Amino acid sequence: MALSQPRPTFNSFWSARLPNLLNPTKKDTPMPDKFSEFLTPDNAVLAMIDHQTGLLASVRDIQPETLRKNINGLTNMAKTAGIPSVVTASLSEGSNGPILSDITNVLGGTVINRAGEINAWKSPEFKAAIEATGRKKIIMAGIVTDVCLLFPALSAVAEGYDVYAVVDASGTWDEVTRDAAMLRMSQAGVKVTTWASVLAEVMDDWRSNQGYPLGGVLGGHTAYGLVYESYLAQQSEQDSAD
């Protein structure tokens, strides 16, 4: 026969609750919710991982021209918004090849060439570069999605970073592999997103200093360009009339 657990006494029940009842204006400080906190130009860093020509040639889950356009959109977004960036490569002198020149042309030629770590987060130089920014939100893209993006995203989240995995500026062998990686990242608390969504989140308001420049980036790399071009034409006509 199991022994019954002692019931809490009246005094023990109320001793834990009475202070709050007597002091109703006192509220517990709410815990910050990283899932509802937005990206800004001041709290984020961009990490571009292994966007190398050899690896890009093996991508099959997204059309090459679309992927390239998305990569250019993401990097130009970071440059326009003044978001710092870290670029890294794996075995760049071997079959993986060099970093895509589109990236270095926009973000500069500084590339952290890892000694052999598959997971970029295990590279002391890469991790130190992220830490040096002092920012806890990492906008991250990588090729291939299920390794070069997945592994450092999981590792960074485990250490308290808030990772935005930009899947349309990443790529891998096939859609099944991509979807499996997205599921695993989501399960770990990584925010799976797209580059245009990141841009809009960083922009926040058309009236901000980055509003129209970022709108131009979006227009230059998506079908939104038709809308943006129409708006600029209309503005030009109004200015001429004035």
Residue 124 CB coordination number (10 Å): 11
Catalytic residue among 148, 153, 203, 217: 148
Which amino acid is residue 114, in one-letter code? R
Residue 202: name the closest of 38, 90, 9, 17 by CA. Answer: 38
Give the end-to-end CA distance of the chain in Å, rounded to a whole number: 92
121, 31 contact by CB (below 8 A): no
113, 140 contact by CB (below 8 A): no
Cα-based distances in Å from 101 to 39, 111, 200: 27, 11, 25
Q: Rg of the chain's alpha carbons, rounded to an integer? A: 23
How far apart CA 232 and CA 30 sit, in angstroms, is: 44
DSSP state of 95: T
148 classed as catalytic:
yes
Angle 175-188/150-158 helices, nearest 10 degrees? Answer: 0
152, 119 contact by CB (below 8 A): yes
The residues assigned a catalytic role are 148
